[in-house]
Amino acid sequence: MENNKLAFGKKNYLWMIIGLAVIFLGFIIMANDTEQYGFGFMGLTLGPITVFAGFMLEIYAIFKKK
């Protein structure tokens, strides 16, 4: 057995960073919607889908084996 004190491996942390970047990108997309109150395509569709994809990447990173 490996005597590693970290909970996750290097690839897990890399996927977590990628997931956080995608979530952050989704919030930036939602904030840059030019329609009033964010009711355009970017604020109601593209941004939330991007944030959801980021959360799915985070779940993948947590459950992925080292």
The sign of the dihedral angle between the CA atoms of 41, 46, 47, 48 is: positive
Q: Is residue 28 part of a domain?
A: yes
Name residues of the chain where pLDDT drops below 70: 1-4
Tell me, rounded to whole angstroms, the distance of Cα 9 from its chain centroid.
18
Give pLDDT, residue 1.
55
Residue 1 resides in a domain: no
The tally of domains found in the chain comes to 1
Average predicted confidence (pLDDT) for the chain: 92
Dihedral (CA of 46, 31, 27, 21) sign? positive
Range of the domain at 56: 10-63
Q: What confidence score (pLDDT) does residue 38 get?
A: 85
What's the confidence (pLDDT) of residue 41?
95
Q: What is the pLDDT of residue 12?
A: 94
* 39 occurs within a structural domain: yes
Flag whether 2 is in a domain: no
